[in-house]
Amino acid sequence: MSVTLKSADEIEKMRAAGALASQVLDMIAPHVTPGVTTGELDRICHEYIVAHRAVPAPLNYRGFPKSICTSINHQVCHGIPGSKALKDGDIVNIDVTVILDGWHGDTSRMYTVGKPTIKGQRICDIAKHALDIGLQIAGPGVTLGDIGHAIQTYAEGEGCSVVREYCGHGIGKLFHEKPEVLHYGRPNTGLRLTPGMTFTIEPMVNLGKPQTKTLPDGWTVVTKDRSLSAQWEHTIAITDNGIDILTLS
């Protein structure tokens, strides 16, 4: 497995891209209200990204037609923004990746629309804590299996499941690089982390079973049992003594 290590200077360039991606998520938050369409959210994010001299990485990536991903309720990931209006009680993941000066920044968050349901708030909170656990585990000398195991153990301990088919990924000049970062696994297995590695941790956690399917649009992934799903994501760099989160707002 060939992993591209980044220099301190390159990590600073990734931090600038990551900060912009996070700013997009800050900016869009007040717009996530009942009645707004996901297409409108995409338009607002696109204009903000372009105005900041950056490129929305998903747009035309392998044919994806929009600038952000919007995944609602039982949609797991890669939801295509469109004419669907959000309604009170929905939960939605907004996933933003920007390219700034040739470097990628990738992050996502969950938003509750209006007054959240008990189940909706619960899965959002569990997915957020799952990410936090992965961030706490990561560091030099740790294996990817250690991270995946910690996330899986927590999520399943809460009666939820972790999606298997989609994972975190290396990132830098390219949107998707080595390694693949699974959110399940066994301790002390897989790649051992070393300083200079940059990748995303982005667990997708379902209230029900882990199985997913892709809709006929070829992109939108949903839970097979239609249970709610939530995801949070950060881009990180491995340092000599821990991690550096590159997508903090």
**What does the pLDDT look like over 80-127, one tens digit per residue?**
999 999 999 999 999 999 999 999 999 999 999 999 999 999 999 999
Q: What is the mean pLDDT of residues 20-42?
A: 98
Q: What is the mean pLDDT of residues 130-136?
A: 98
- Residue 249 token pair: 């707002």
Collapsed DSSP state (helix, strand, coil) of residue 145:
helix
Cα-trace Rg, the chain:
17
Residue of 46, 42, 99, 95 whose CA lies nearest to 231: 95
Model confidence at 231: pLDDT above 80: yes
Model confidence at 1: pLDDT above 70: no
Residue with tokens 């995303």: 200
Please report, rounded to a whole number, the percentage of residues in the chain having pLDDT higher than 70: 100
233, 95 in Cβ contact below 8 A? yes
Which domains are present in the chain? 8-241 (3.90.230.10)
Q: What is the mean pLDDT of residues 222-232?
A: 98
141, 188 in Cβ contact below 8 A? no
Task: Please report which confidence band the pLDDT of residue 158 belongs to, taking 50, 70 and 90 as the band edges.
Answer: very high
β 69-72/91-100 pair status: antiparallel
Q: What is the mean pLDDT of residues 120-143?
A: 98
Model confidence at 249: pLDDT above 90: no
Q: What is the mean pLDDT of residues 114-142?
A: 98
The 3-state DSSP composition of the chain as helix, strand, coil percent (nearest 5) reads 30, 25, 45
Angle CA(85)–CA(88)–CA(90) in degrees, nearest 5? 75
pLDDT at 2: 87
Residues 181-190: pLDDT tens digits?
999 999 999 9
Amino acid at 73: N
- Record the pTM: 0.97
